[in-house]
Amino acid sequence: MIKRILLSLVMLLVIAYLVVAITAFNRKPAGQVCRDVELIIKDTVYAGFITKKEVATLLDTKGINPVGKKMERIRTKTLEKELSKHPLIDQVECYKTPSGKIHVEVTQRIPILRVMSANGDNYYLDNKGTVMPPDAKCVAHLAIVTGNVEKSFAMRDLYKFGVFLQSNPFWNAQIEQIHVLSGKNIELVPRVGDHLIYLGKLDGYERKLERVKMFYEKALNRVGWNKYSRISVEFGNQIICTKREGKDL
């Protein structure tokens, strides 16, 4: 019985110590001042639109830079709300650290296509189909969309094709330009080979490009990449090639 009582007292003392230690660790000194901002920008290598300097400048411009302010008066939700207004920022998460810092994590919007249409429109499309400003500093290789590009068509249909290219290493590296013809028919300009790829409508583009890739591997690797001026996969289960001199095969 005595051993049980002693054991219970020891356990109570240990629990009391842990509670006091945790409370002391988490207690912020009265009047603690923010001494720094820890800024993490995700996807910097892939996108590279936003820099740490730009985020710091934005905080200064808005008058909400937390450095030097009392921690108890800093509202992290306000920081998140203001930073989220930036057209190149997708998500923001801010929180206070016990050491007197504000931790800010910024997720950038990911560009997938650059649109330069015949009607003068000039903008980026992100992977959610949202328009981004043309003055964004994109460091990644992106296919350029030209021709008769209606913004509604780009945001509803073309961005899905851009997401496909982004997720497909072969075609992402191969496709340099997407040209929109009348009737929303699509013509692709590849980086390798002096030919055009005619898709027709965008529907079924995965299967169409799979046929082109197979044709690359089985035919162009043997006869040469510049033998044909045009490769059409508009119709199902067919590949119609036009010789450079204009004869169809």
Q: Indicate the number of domains in the chain.
A: 2
Contact (Cβ atoms closer than 8 angstroms) between residue 241 and residue 231: yes
Q: Among residues 179, 190, 189, 186, which one has the least CA distance to residue 200?
A: 186
Claim to verify: residue 239 and residue 117 sit in the same structural domain: yes
What pLDDT, on the 0 to 100 scale, is given for residue 244? 78
What pLDDT, on the 0 to 100 scale, is given for residue 248? 46
Domain contains 9 = no
Claim to verify: residue 97 and residue 124 sit in the same structural domain: no
Claim to verify: residue 122 and residue 175 sit in the same structural domain: yes
DSSP 165-185: HHH-HHHHHHEEEEEE-GGG-
Distance CA 105, CA 79 (A): 11
What pLDDT, on the 0 to 100 scale, is given for residue 15? 77
3-state secondary structure of 98: coil
Claim to verify: residue 40 and residue 81 sit in the same structural domain: yes
Q: Give the domain extent around 42.
A: 36-108
Distance CA 106, CA 101 (A): 16
What pLDDT, on the 0 to 100 scale, is given for residue 25? 47
What pLDDT, on the 0 to 100 scale, is given for residue 222? 83
Claim to verify: residue 116 and residue 238 sit in the same structural domain: yes
Last residue of a domain, one of 84, 108, 132: 108
Claim to verify: residue 116 and residue 236 sit in the same structural domain: yes
Distance CA 151, CA 101 (A): 43
What pLDDT, on the 0 to 100 scale, is given for residue 177? 97
Claim to verify: residue 82 and residue 169 sit in the same structural domain: no
**The two structure tokens encoding residue 64:** 């909400």
The structure's pTM equals: 0.74
What is the residue-level pLDDT of the chain in tens, covering all 249 positions? 666 666 666 677 767 666 555 554 455 556 789 988 888 888 666 555 677 788 888 888 988 999 999 999 999 999 999 998 887 888 999 999 988 999 999 988 888 999 999 999 999 999 889 998 887 666 667 899 999 999 999 999 999 999 999 899 999 999 999 999 999 999 999 999 889 999 999 999 999 999 999 999 988 888 887 888 999 999 978 899 988 774 444
Domain contains 161 = yes
Claim to verify: residue 161 and residue 196 sit in the same structural domain: yes
Claim to verify: residue 122 and residue 166 sit in the same structural domain: yes
Contact (Cβ atoms closer than 8 angstroms) between residue 72 and residue 30: no
In the DSSP assignment, the letter for residue 56 is H
What pLDDT, on the 0 to 100 scale, is given for residue 1? 64
Claim to verify: residue 175 and residue 93 sit in the same structural domain: no
For residue 240, how far is the Cα from the chain centroid? Answer: 36
Contact (Cβ atoms closer than 8 angstroms) between residue 157 and residue 198: no
Claim to verify: residue 170 and residue 78 sit in the same structural domain: no
